[in-house]
Amino acid sequence: MKKEWQLSQATFDRLLHWLDPEPTEAGAKYERIRHKLVKIFVYRGSNIPEDLADETINRVAERLPDFEAAYVGDPMRYFYRVAQNVFLESTRRRALTLTEMPQPPSSSELEKMYRCLEACVDRLPQDQQQLILEYYQCDQRSKIDHRKAMARRRGFTLNVLRLRTHRIRVELQKCLRECLERIAG
């Protein structure tokens, strides 16, 4: 991913003016675009969504003189196209760094992990336990249909369901890490 080019104040001001000639509206549009970009990268599973959003904005700003006069339409569409490329580059780079595969855990390590995970799930409130266990019940296409139905039954949108399970998963990962450290130490 490109990192050598830096966004100058003049370039940033030009970008804001391209978004809207009115400074306060331009600032609001910039914030909305950045927020949407972060959400896109989070949804796609990036572990560095803010960095990728900033890289996307920098690339658009860098190329702005090339297309600014001719571009017609919603600027978000242009940002979205650049974001697609930035995301693909980040996944390629990540794949290249994963060339050395770690050794799979031994059966005793797996047993420890399983015991810790069970203990962590048991610590969750009952409604969170049910939610996370039901969320990971199905595979492949049935998983998608199951999660849509699950969201409807609970009165959630699919995004709310994803967000809630993500929060539970983060909590479980932290608990699991602490449990495994206690066992090892």
Per residue in 149-163, pLDDT (tens digit) is 999 999 988 888 888
Question: Is 2 part of a structural domain of the chain?
Answer: no
DSSP code of residue 152: H
Give a yes or no: residue 102 inside a domain: no
160/86 same-domain check:
no
Residue 15 and residue 91 share a domain: yes
Categorize the per-residue pLDDT at 9 as very low, low, confident or very high, splitting at 50, 70 and 90: confident
Task: Tell me: pLDDT of 141 over 80.
Answer: no
- 151 and 118 share a domain? yes
Please indicate, yes or no, whether residues 63 and 122 belong to a single structural domain of this protein: no
Question: DSSP character for 101?
Answer: P
81-95 confidence digits (pLDDT tens): 999 999 999 888 766
- 84 with 143, same domain: the answer is no
**Between residues 39 and 91, the one the model is more confident about:** 39
When the pLDDT of each residue in the chain is averaged and rounded to a whole number, the result is 88
Q: Which of 97, 119, 144 is the last residue of a domain?
A: 97
Q: Which of 97, 116, 150 is the last residue of a domain?
A: 97
- For residues 37 and 77, membership in a common domain is answered with yes
Question: Is 1 domain-assigned?
Answer: no
pLDDT higher than threshold 80 for residue 96: no
Q: Which amino acid is at 137?
A: Q
Report pLDDT digits (tens) over 65-84.
Answer: 999 888 888 999 999 999 99
Number of separate domains in the chain: 2
Residue 2 has pLDDT above 70, yes or no: no
d(CA 178, CA 185): 10
Which CATH number belongs to the domain containing residue 129 in this structure?
Answer: 1.10.10
Give me the pLDDT at residue 37, please.
95
pLDDT at 152: 94
Q: How far is CA 36 from the centre of its chain?
A: 11
Same domain for 86 and 15: yes
142 in any annotated domain: yes
DSSP H or E run through 156: none
Mean pLDDT within 118-127: 95
* Residue 151 pLDDT: 92
Question: Can you give the pLDDT at residue 85?
Answer: 94
pLDDT at 120: 95
Residues 31 and 70 in one domain: yes
Are 91 and 114 in a shared domain?
no
Q: Which of 73, 97, 121 is the last residue of a domain?
A: 97
Residues 149 and 82 in one domain: no
Count of alpha carbons within 13 angstroms of residue 109, beta-carbon side: 7
Q: Which domain holds residue 32?
A: 9-97
Q: Are residues 111 and 92 in the same domain?
A: no
Domain co-membership, 28 together with 90:
yes
Check if the beta carbon of residue 164 is closer than 8 Å to that of residue 131: yes
Task: Quote the pLDDT of residue 101.
Answer: 57
This prediction has a pTM of: 0.51
**Per-position b or e across 17-32, b if 16+ CB within 10 A of its CB:** ebbeeeeeebeebbee
Q: Which amino acid, residue 159?
A: N
